[in-house]
Amino acid sequence: MDQNSEIKKLQEENDKLNKLYSAKSDMVSISAHQIRTSLSALKWIIEMFLDGDLGKLTAEQETLLKKAYEGNDRSIRTVSELLLVNKTENVTEKKYDFSKVDMVELIDNSIFDFSGEAHARGIEIIFLKPEEELPGVRADKEKLLTVFQNVLENAIKYSNDHGKVFIALRKNDNDSIEVSIKDTGIQISEAGKEKIFEKFYRDPEAQKKEVVGSGIGLFIVKKIIEDHNGKIWFDSEKDESTTFFFTIPIYK
């Protein structure tokens, strides 16, 4: 077999593998979405019982339903982690579709998606919208949505019950938009401050608050932001809160 034939054969085999990988990825994504939808519907039904919308519960019934609610919530988070990993595990290979994105609109839509979870824990999400209109950013909207949703979900997850999550936007002098998301929960440990963006790392303080987690979310978030020529960092205050910041260049 000559060299050209060998190269052609390798290319054909590589194409087959890519198609198989794509099919596997689509199957995982579709299945996970279906599972999460069913779990979310179940969560809503359990909430109705716990809120007394369907009648008064006995103490024993309320205790059992609370355990069911907590187990269901952990399952939803696990499936969400699976979706995130499946969606972005080969982020370095996927092409970015850059366009002009309105950050205010993107954040408004994301807040709505998490309103149910925040309400269940009595957490108030406060979006401090800028007084003047901000320019759009140059971003892949889908991937930027993944970034914001991941950071917001963490802020809600690690905030104390009946706390607050503050979201703010501002235009920087270096032609970028800066986003900040501040929780009212745990602080990052001293050891974690050096490792928080490492793949599979979970801070000890986070593990105390929430056992379930893959430790890949912030690793992916950092990768996406850097692929946008942006930056991400955080400020963690002892016994008070943690604020994550990231920047995205303005669309020109």
Report DSSP letters for 210-235, one per residue. Answer: -S---S-HHHHHHHHHHHTT--EEEE
Q: Quick one: average pLDDT of 232-251?
A: 87
Task: In whole angstroms, give the CA distance from residue 247 to residue 252.
Answer: 15
In the chain, the largest separation of any two C-alpha atoms, in whole Å, equals 79
Backbone angles phi, psi at 186, to 5 degrees: -75, 160
Tell me what the pLDDT averaged over the chain comes to. 82
Left (φ > 0), alpha (ψ -120 to 50) or beta: where does 126 sit?
beta
Over residues 6-19, the pLDDT tens digits come to 777 777 776 676 66
Lowest mean pLDDT among 10-24, 63-77, 124-138, 219-233: 10-24
**Which pLDDT does position 92 carry in this prediction?**
46
Residue 96 is given by DSSP the state P
Q: Domain locations in the chain?
A: 3-88, 98-249
Decide: 197 and 226 in contact? Cβ < 8 Å. Answer: no
Examine the pLDDT at 179 and tell me if it is beyond 80.
yes
198-225: b or e for each residue (b if 16 or more CB lie within 10 Å)? eeebbbebbeeeeeebbbbbbbbbbbbb
State the fold for domain 98-249: Heat Shock Protein 90 (3.30.565)
